[in-house]
């Protein structure tokens, strides 16, 4: 009996075999599979800013897809088995282990209508950097070719040329920083409905950041945050207390309680690679929190939201 792991490997081998087929006579072989993979991956939303894709881009697409499938923003992607090639009936063991979605996504060829992206995609930061590096490298190669075809009398003296770093070719990319590790499963944001009972608070959480999941909080590593900001990896905690109306004693008590909770939320967000922002309704509330914990200064903004 095939184990889930063996089933996954079987499907991956089949897809890789398709990817390795020789080009037809007259077709040009792709001179840079890595560039092709980056361009294809740029069409999709990624939760890790594209670091997994950049790390795996030198592999064939099915291998990249299998290793980075977890990093896709699955909330913004829909899969449709338009050809029936990934139907459970045709490959029950592999489909059970990996799912129709991965089968479609890992297909060596792009199948029109099989992978549907919801809303506009901004190219992930790491992928854009990789594509930019290729463009710079290609421009450099073109410039070198122009120099090489000049008559010898027109070539610039060797002493005037800028030295080219050794070992940098067309496939060179900036190294991925050590902090760009693959996100842990518990760090993936899980939308959950806003807690009831405070419509004004929830409206502020949806509209001010603005919230990527309107009507929803986001659960990250067991902690509920009020919003995940659209387009960036920033978690928000919204405060709409009528802080200015509290007595001095109550302001102190509320402030101390909130600071303790906010420091823990900041720790959880940063440990999972997110930015963290606190939205408060008034400047007085912001100043009270900073008086208790100055390190929160870069994180607190005044929303002006009313209850």
Q: What is the pLDDT of residues 191-201, one digit of tens each?
A: 999 887 788 99
The residue written with tokens 């099915």 in the block is: 62
Element (H, E) at 220: strand 216-220
SS3 sequence, 250-269?
Answer: HHHHHHHHHHHHHHHHHHHH
Rounded CA-CA distance 99/61 in Å is 17
Contact 57, 41 (CB under 8 A): yes
Residue 75 pLDDT class (50, 70, 90 cuts): confident
- Neighbouring residues of 121: CB distance < 8 A, sequence distance ≥ 6: 42, 43, 44, 45, 76
Name residue 117's beta-bridge partners: 77
Among residues 11, 194, 205, which one has the least CA distance to residue 98?
11
Structure tokens at 129: 């950097």
pLDDT tens digit sequence for 10-45: 454 444 444 434 444 444 444 578 889 999 999 999
Q: What is the pTM of this model?
A: 0.44
Q: What is the per-residue pLDDT for 277?
A: 95
Average pLDDT over residues 93-121: 75
Buried b or exposed e, range 42-59, using 16+ CB within 10 angstroms: bebbbbbbbbbbbbbbeb
Closest C-alpha to 188, from 156, 147, 218, 215: 218
Given this model, what pLDDT does residue 20 score?
A: 39
Separation CA 22–CA 13 (nearest Å): 16
């Amino acid at each position: 009996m095939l184990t889930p792991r063996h089933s996954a490997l079987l499907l991956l081998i089949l897809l890789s075999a398709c990817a390795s087929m020789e080009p037809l006579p007259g077709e040009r072989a792709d001179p840079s599979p890595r560039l092709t993979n980056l361009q294809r991956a740029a069409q999709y939303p990624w939760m890790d800013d594209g670091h997994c894709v950049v790390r795996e881009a030198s592999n064939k697409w099915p291998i990249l897809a299998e290793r980075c499938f977890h990093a896709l923003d699955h909330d913004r992607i829909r899969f449709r088995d338009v050809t029936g090639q990934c139907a459970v009936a045709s490959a029950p063991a592999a489909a059970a282990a990996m799912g129709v979605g991965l089968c479609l996504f890992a297909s060596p060829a792009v199948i029109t209508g099989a992978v549907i992206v919801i809303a506009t995609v901004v190219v992930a930061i790491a992928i854009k950097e990789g594509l930019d590096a290729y463009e710079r490298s290609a421009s450099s190669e073109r410039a070198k070719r122009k120099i090489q075809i000049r008559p010898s009398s027109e070539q610039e003296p060797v002493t005037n040329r800028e030295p080219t770093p050794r070992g940098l070719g067309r496939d060179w990319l900036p190294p991925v920083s050590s902090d760009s590790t693959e996100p842990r499963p518990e760090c993936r944001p899980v939308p959950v409905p806003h807690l009831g009972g405070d419509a004004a608070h929830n409206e502020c959480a949806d509209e001010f950041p603005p919230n990527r999941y309107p009507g929803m909080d986001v659960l990250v590593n067991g902690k509920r945050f009020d919003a995940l900001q659209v387009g960036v990896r920033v978690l928000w905690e919204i405060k709409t207390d009528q802080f200015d109306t509290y007595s001095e004693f109550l302001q102190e008590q509320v402030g101390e309680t909130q600071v303790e909770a906010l420091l823990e939320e900041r720790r959880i967000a940063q440990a999972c690679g997110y930015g963290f922002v606190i939205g408060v309704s008034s400047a007085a509330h912001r100043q009270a929190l900073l008086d208790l914990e100055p390190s929160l200064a870069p994180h607190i903004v005044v929303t002006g939201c009313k209850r």
